[in-house]
Structure 1
């Protein structure tokens, strides 16, 4: 009787051990499969990221033209905006000018970075613009929306409500030029970040044109 109980106990232990071994083996295989899957997923993600970077870095002549043209265009807008702090009489004009500075200065830095990475010429940084009386603006006066030296001289000499009206009128034209340039980039550019910036410029500056026209009493 005792021998029968002993054999039964041994058989039970053996079965338990075999079951445990099978469970561990199954877990090991699952873990290996998971690790293997993770490895493939990681490789796939890395490949996707690399492909995305290559695609994002692709650019064409239009992208270069957009950056090289928009940098001086933005620089003149900043020069005009900086004049508003000491010459404008309208708080709304001063606020608009501050927003233009806040938006366009970082865009200049970004576009300069693109051109450097592409090995292209970066338009001279005019950090001293506005502090150089009689500065020649004729180099870019043929660009859409750009003011010439005579226009800028008039703006620099104006103050009060005269400045407000002149600033708004000039900036509307300036913004329309930027929107035109950005629209061309959206349709012909290849570099993703550049076409995205162009889209932002169209949206933001179109809204500001509407705002400025209202301040001028045209809406």
Structure 2
């Protein structure tokens, strides 16, 4: 059995039946695969393998419904706790001008958020800012929970890094690494930036937000992550 190929990620779908997942796991190991995680309730197993013939071999195994690589490029090692770059900030003059235009009860940069009145979110805020019982998950490139507009509303317990196919709930694992996209952080802010007297305001600044990182360092979203 060859193990000199690039390390690829595979999804193996298992046929229903008592004991089938256990048998397929044995077949995976025999074919040169390593189980990353098995979702036994739905019969899905995420596997890494450097055997170029792994896909062909495991598809012939008893109990396997289907199997295939989720990518043609090898798995890229990733950092998970670094904080990625942020967009170019406003100048002091721009921030001061916006703050001067802010009405009572508005965050200082809220006058720059044309999108809130466009969807009448400003009117909705007069009724409710949203409930802390609600958590909105941002399934994206990761969320920087250290951002002062996100920290008050961030839910660590509902956050994870799922890039490998297995949830990593280590503190900070959901953050974008240095050089990675800050798109997820931007989306989280659009949803739930806190109304805290600083920065901007989210559409629902009273709800909680969590980060589910599913984008690899190259910015791709693969099957096993989502």
Q: What TM-score range do you get, normalising by the shorter chain?
A: under 0.3
Higher helix share: 1
TM-score, normalization: structure 2?
0.18
Higher strand share: 2
TM-score, normalization: structure 1?
0.18
Max Rg structure: 1
